[in-house]
Structure 1
Amino acid sequence: MPEDIAPASEAVVICTRNRPDVLRETLRSVASQSGAAERPVLVVDGSDREEAERTARVVQDWSDEEAPVHYHRYSGAPAATRQRNAGVALLPDSVEIVHFIDDDATLRAGYFDALRAALEHHPHLLGVGGIITASGGTSPRPSVHWGHRLFLLRVDRPSRVLSSGQTTPAWPIGTEDLQPAEWLSTCASSYRARVFDTHRFDPAVEGPSPRLEDLDFSARVAEDGPLAVVPGARCVHRVSSRNRRGTAATARERLVRRYWFVRKNMDHPLNRLAFWWSALGQLAALVVSSHPDRNAALWGYLQGVWQVWTRAHSLLYEESTGA
């Protein structure tokens, strides 16, 4: 258990596993934010034994600084969903806003201020998120052509959930105004604490990225009230190579979990048909791709099709327990 966390109106929850050096850089970014001394940070660690000792030392280094960083060693089977749920449960009752960031994210100046201001000025919002860029500063806005639209893979609108279960990321659209969102990434998102009276991250979701647990959680919250993206809140996702699947496994899991999301949250015959239509489009794109990892991605994708079709995956043959 972490030491007592002092009462505060907002808090940060960071889940980590076997990434002490990566976490150190993230904590440096969090501590540099204005108001850091009044914003407690809870690190929920699912690391293996030796890495957990290193992670605890990283947090201890910060506990002597102005930023109040607390450490909690998660005792259950590691999973980002379970660790986030545990982190929320450990926060003091005074917390009104819960900020989630990944352990490999670097926040730009004013990140928390922008998200907090949006929630304070727009009381109808249940959650807000920021704009996430890659380490090289590349824009999150994907290219969209007729094939993407035809196969329900992408649209030229940010933060959308398509009928196929496919999504578009958040990106700036030439204005600093709030942007309505249908889902939020936990790499950079914040929710009112009262949301967790009703919703939890689905503990059935486990394993390294991609998991899509943030899509599942935020889409369920969006059924109760609106979400938005705050363009003034920016962060860089450094994408640590640790706890990542290989190309084939990524292609397989992304397809399986997309179907799991559709079945759980959009379970209508037309949505299932839209999912398979988009899957056909993705398959065609892989077949004609010239990417050097194309064969591995194609093999993993075909494995995913088989698992979806036969329900040979834990998320598909067991009922999810998330609320």
Structure 2
Amino acid sequence: MDVVLIGRNEGARLVAALASVAGVARQVIYVDSGSTDASIAEARKAGATVVTLSSAEPFTAARARNAGYAALDHPRFVQFIDGDCTLVPGYLDAARAHLEAHPQLGLVTGWRSEIHRDASLYNQLADFEWRRPAGEILACGGDMMVRAEAFDAVGGFDPEVIAAEDDEFCTRLRKAGWRLERIPQEMTRHDADTHRFSQWWRRAVRTGHGFAQVGALHPDYFTRERRRVLVYGLALPLLLLAGLLFWWPLCALVLAAYALNWWRTAQGLSRAGLPASEARRHSLLITLSKIPNMIGMATYHWRRRRNAQMRIIEYK
């Protein structure tokens, strides 16, 4: 089994990621996307094979993962890990055994959690997002173990997709007849390192870009997400503006709609196991996120209309 690590200016996080995979894989490939820190030197020091991406094309996680895969020698099972994650001991063996036992599976993933969950509200929200039930899934994040046969069958990741590239890859796997599964195993520890509202906002913009771009490629995917963004990130703000300009009672109705959405989301988060105080705070961010999501969706359509390059949206 092999490991492909990708990163860009991850610093100490990359050092920890490399240490966590040392000695547990046949091959370790590190793919660097234009780092200006000591990432490349640290990867070589750790014994990883280093692949550096040219800046002639826009950097994307999808492009980096493809380059890492291409550098492997006769892979069978490949674990992809982001450079801000550390591998949990024992996961690789469990994932490989599950793939070997179930030849219809194209990939497996496990549970990712935040290293510093309570360092910020944004880290808490990310930690909750990672924790999903085990079993058959539609898609997963970038930490995944993929069967090489399945990867080759669908042509790997789409390097043009700058966000939610993992969802897009998983969608093509499913359409090709492969099953995907999350096993009940701790997989990786993630360091979101998100402490400022501006970071969270940029991340939400990137998410919206992913909704739109992947939705354009697969209209049957992200349909609910795109519909919610159009309602809460576009229609209601326009109605609020109309109310401010022409008829102020309309403003009260719009604010009531947002309040109802916040309350229902908070109730759902509480039922999912979050403490009530956390659920209320998380719900506020989730409700607000539709606005930067809308900006991200609009950014994608503007780029597409102008035939512009799809460049990554960084938040760290």
Q: Same fold (TM over 0.5)?
A: yes
**Which residue, out of 214, 227, 234, partners 1:277?**
227
Secondary structure of the structure 1 residue equivalent to 2:105: coil
Distance 1:252 1:81 in 2: 18
> What letter matches 2:61 in structure 1?
A
* Structure 2 residue 303 is the aligned partner of structure 1 residue 300: no
Alignment correspondent of 2:5: 14
* Structure 2 residue 155 is the aligned partner of structure 1 residue 199: yes
Q: Compute the displacement of 1:200 (Å).
A: 2.0
Q: Compute the displacement of 1:79 (Å).
A: 1.9
* Structure 2 residue 167 is the aligned partner of structure 1 residue 215: yes
Distance 1:193 1:201 in 2: 12
> Which residues in structure 2 correspond to 1:244-263 (within 5 Å)?
246-263=199-216
Alignment correspondent of 1:85: 66
Alignment correspondent of 1:313: 303
Change (3 A) 1:305 1:28: closer
Q: Compute the displacement of 1:19 (Å).
A: 1.6
Alignment correspondent of 1:128: 108
> What letter matches 2:292 in structure 1?
G
Q: Compute the displacement of 1:59 (Å).
A: 1.7
Q: CA RMSD in A?
A: 3.6
Distance 1:315 1:170 in 2: 36
Assess if the C-alpha contact under 8 Å between 1:205 and 1:315 holds in 2.
Answer: no
> Which residues in structure 2 correspond to 1:76-115 (within 5 Å)?
76=55, 77=57, 78-93=59-74, 95-115=75-95
TM-score norm. by structure 2 comes to 0.69
Assess if the C-alpha contact under 8 Å between 2:205 and 2:295 holds in 1.
Answer: yes
* Structure 2 residue 52 is the aligned partner of structure 1 residue 73: yes
Q: Compute the displacement of 1:314 (Å).
A: 3.7
Percent identical across equivalent pairs? 25
Computing the radius of gyration over CA atoms, which structure comes out larger, 1 or 2? 2
Secondary structure of the structure 2 residue equivalent to 1:234: strand
Distance 2:132 2:285 in 1: 27
> What letter matches 2:29 in structure 1?
L
Assess if the C-alpha contact under 8 Å between 2:78 and 2:148 holds in 1.
Answer: yes
Q: Compute the displacement of 1:237 (Å).
A: 1.1
Alignment correspondent of 2:185: 232
Q: Which runs of 5+ in 1 are unaligned?
A: 1-9, 64-68, 143-167, 174-178
Assess if the C-alpha contact under 8 Å between 2:108 and 2:180 holds in 1.
Answer: yes
Assess if the C-alpha contact under 8 Å between 1:212 and 1:258 holds in 2.
Answer: yes
Q: Compute the displacement of 1:250 (Å).
A: 3.0
Change (3 A) 1:199 1:170: farther
Q: Compute the displacement of 1:132 (Å).
A: 0.9
Alignment correspondent of 2:18: 27
Q: Compute the displacement of 1:55 (Å).
A: 1.6
More helix by share: 2
Assess if the C-alpha contact under 8 Å between 1:22 and 1:240 holds in 2.
Answer: no
Q: Compute the displacement of 1:117 (Å).
A: 0.7
Secondary structure of the structure 2 residue equivalent to 1:312: helix
Q: Compute the displacement of 1:281 (Å).
A: 5.5
> What letter matches 2:45 in structure 1?
D
Alignment correspondent of 2:240: none
Deviations 1:78-110 (CA, angstroms, capped at 9, x unpaired): 2211111111111112x1011101111122220
Q: Compute the displacement of 1:134 (Å).
A: 1.6
Deviations 1:34-92 (CA, angstroms, capped at 9, x unpaired): x62x52110011124x42xx1222123212xxxxx211222243221111111111111
Assess if the C-alpha contact under 8 Å between 1:260 and 1:316 holds in 2.
Answer: no
Assess if the C-alpha contact under 8 Å between 2:4 and 2:68 holds in 1.
Answer: yes
TM-score norm. by structure 1 comes to 0.67
